């Protein structure tokens, strides 16, 4: 009994300490935002609005390639056996563990004006990537992809193979079985992966700063606007706080809506 109680108390104290550590930074942010009279005005400034809009739409566009190309990859990783699979598995997770700045430098060495493919592309088409919104999206696709692929893969891993086998015995084609039997089961995982991917893209800073640059309206997403404000742009520290609160609000809103939607789906199923 005594040991049980000690364990429980320890559990509670540790959880409380963790919760405090987790909540305090947001509390500090909220306090400053409320005390500073200009928060609302700064949040409505052109710079803030342009950055929020750019962040939201580029993060949403990022989902296109990550979902389209990530789903087959996740399916292959879940089903196929091939030599070197462990290496491919690890490589896909690389953008999670590497600092995004490394991703930015890597993108430059590939798609920069002197990069592996960037140089021939500029020679043929005159098109360069750096300083364009395209570069922002490329950076986000790269750093956010693993979050999608991981989630989708675990979805494929947990598919009930018996239902698939039954579909085959009933004469369904592979394609039909995939879309009618496999995909519906994977949907919640794909949805979760999509939200994670979107959230990661919204928060992307390092790779964008290095690969895409920082210009209002073109490449300055919310995280870049926040760091610019913090580093002394005209918005100043109060601006950095106002933008941070905006970003938090939008991210929280999206996560909550997603939870509500996915819970509803679980009930209906």
Which residues are at the interface with another protein (CB under 8 A)? 3, 6-7, 10-11, 13-14, 108, 112-114, 128, 130-131, 209, 213-216, 218-219, 227-228, 230-234, 236-237
Nearest Cα neighbor of 249 from 32, 52, 41, 63 is 52
Q: Which of 116, 118, 123, 114 is nearest to 135 (CA)?
A: 118
Of residues 10 and 158, the one with the C-beta less far from another protein: 10
Residue 242 carries which DSSP code? Answer: H
- In order of 32, 36, 140, 212, 228, the CA distances from 243 in angstroms are 12, 13, 20, 20, 11
Q: Which is nearer to another protein, 142 or 240 (CB)?
A: 240
- In whole angstroms, how close is the CB of 25 to another protein at the nearest point? 14
**Residue number, 77 or 108, with CB nearest to another protein:** 108
Least separation in angstroms between residue 139's CB and another protein is: 14
- Give the separation between CA 51 and CA 222, rounded to whole angstroms: 5
For another protein, give the closer residue by CB, 7 or 90.
Answer: 7
Q: Which is nearer to another protein, 55 or 228 (CB)?
A: 228
CB of 222 to another protein, least distance (A): 16
Residue 253 neighbours by CB distance under 10 Å: 10
Minimum distance of another protein from residue 196's CB (angstroms)? 28
CB of 213 to another protein, least distance (A): 3
CB of 113 to another protein, least distance (A): 5
Instruction: Tell me whether residue 114 or residue 162 sits nearer to another protein (CB atom).
Output: 114
Who's near 129: CB < 8 A, 6+ residues apart?
A: 111, 112, 118, 135, 138, 211
**216 Cβ contact list (under 8 Å, min separation 6):** 46, 47, 50, 51, 225
C-alpha to C-alpha distance for 193 and 212, rounded to whole angstroms: 25
Q: How many CA atoms lie within 13 A of 27 on its CB side?
A: 6
């Amino acid at each position: 009994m005594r040991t049980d109680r000690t364990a429980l108390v320890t559990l509670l104290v540790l959880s409380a300490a963790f919760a405090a550590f987790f909540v305090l930074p947001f509390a500090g942010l909220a306090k400053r935002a409320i005390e500073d009279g200009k928060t609302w005005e700064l949040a409505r400034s052109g710079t803030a609005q342009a950055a929020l809009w750019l962040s939201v739409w580029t993060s949403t566009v990022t989902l296109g390639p990550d979902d389209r190309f990530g789903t087959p990859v996740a399916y292959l990783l879940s089903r196929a056996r091939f030599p070197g699979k462990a290496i491919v598995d690890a490589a896909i997770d690389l953008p999670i563990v590497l600092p995004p700045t490394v991703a930015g430098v890597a993108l430059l060495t590939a798609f920069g004006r002197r990069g592996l493919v960037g140089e021939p592309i500029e020679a043929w088409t005159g098109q360069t990537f750096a300083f364009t919104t395209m570069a922002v999206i490329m950076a986000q696709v790269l750093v956010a992809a693993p979050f999608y692929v991981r989630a989708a893969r675990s979805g494929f891993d947990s598919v009930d193979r018996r239902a698939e086998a039954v579909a085959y015995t009933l004469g369904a084609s592979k394609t039909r079985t995939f879309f009618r039997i496999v995909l519906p089961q994977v949907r919640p995982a794909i949805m979760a992966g999509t939200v994670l991917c979107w959230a990661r893209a919204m928060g992307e800073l390092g790779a964008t700063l290095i690969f895409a640059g920082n210009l209002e309206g073109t490449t300055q997403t919310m995280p870049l606007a926040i760091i610019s404000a913090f580093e002394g742009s005209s918005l100043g520290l109060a601006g950095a706080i106002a933008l941070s609160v905006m970003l938090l609000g939008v991210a929280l809103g999206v996560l909550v809506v997603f939870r509500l939607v996915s819970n509803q789906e679980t009930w209906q199923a």
